[in-house]
Amino acid sequence: MTPTRDPLVDALRSVSAGDLAADLDAAIGRAERDGLVDVGYEVTDSPVGPLFVAVTDAGVVRVGFSREPVDAVVEELALRVSPRVLRSPRRTDEVRRQLDEYFAGRRDHFDLGVDWRLTRGFRRTVLERLYEEVPYGRTVSYLELAVRVGNPRASRAVGTAMATNPIPIVVPCHRVLRTGGHLGGYGGGLPAKRLLLALESGEAPLL
């Protein structure tokens, strides 16, 4: 604020009152009950680093690794899902709980709704197939997944689908490897992919 030599103006500006955090929390709680929050998000700690999670009424819509800046992901959600995006521990509580259990080795599948709206077309088909058919502890090659969706020549496009997966970990693109078992790529970085695969194979020196 502009400094001033007027004591009256300084006194007017010196107000600091109330509990903003509590009032904000109450407002957002009411907004959630009234259905005014379309997307709730939170950042949660995990063995693969801070994870961004976002939830809509339909289910988990976005998971992001720390290499994606939170601001950018939130902005993307505002543009592509709804501008009514708010940080919400309550809304994301269930997803975060299940992720914690997963990383602790106590959960081998997610009981969550999935909101697929950030992916479409062939990519979505591939991701849905992966989500439904490749369980915990198993892996599949890009080629094999291409065959499963009826397009054996599309393994490169399958790779793109994995690279653009909006909901990694929950939609298990870490279970997709190159033919021959080479790791391939991963949006969260190869160390994260290795860790997830080790966790699911039971080899992880658990966390």
Binding site for other proteins (CB under 8 A): 1, 8-9, 11-18, 20, 23-24, 26-28, 30-31, 34, 36-38, 41, 74-75, 77-79, 82-87
Q: At its nearest, how many Å lie between other proteins and the CB of residue 60?
A: 18
Extract the runs of DSSP E, i.e. beta strands, from the chain: 39-44, 51-56, 59-64, 85-87, 140-141, 176-177
Of residues 64 and 159, the one with the C-beta less far from other proteins: 64
127 closest CA partner among 174, 82, 95, 80: 174
Of residues 83 and 105, the one with the C-beta less far from other proteins: 83
Separation between Cα atoms, residue 55 and residue 149, nearest integer Å: 27
Of residues 1 and 180, the one with the C-beta less far from other proteins: 1
Q: At its nearest, how many Å lie between other proteins and the CB of residue 20?
A: 5
Of residues 26 and 206, the one with the C-beta less far from other proteins: 26
Q: At its nearest, how many Å lie between other proteins and the CB of residue 41?
A: 8
Q: At its nearest, how many Å lie between other proteins and the CB of residue 11?
A: 4
DSSP secondary structure of 1-38 = ----S-HHHHHHHT---S-HHHHHHHHHHHHHHTT--S
Separation between Cα atoms, residue 54 and residue 61, nearest integer Å: 6
Beta pairing class for 59-64 and 51-56 = antiparallel
Phi, psi angle pair for 39, to nearest 5°: -135, 125
Q: At its nearest, how many Å lie between other proteins and the CB of residue 10?
A: 9
Of residues 57 and 108, the one with the C-beta less far from other proteins: 57
Q: Which of 51, 95, 118, 173 is catalytic?
A: 173
Residue 75: active-site member? no
Separation between Cα atoms, residue 151 and residue 124, nearest integer Å: 14
Separation between Cα atoms, residue 23 and residue 101, nearest integer Å: 32
Kindly list the catalytic residues: 173
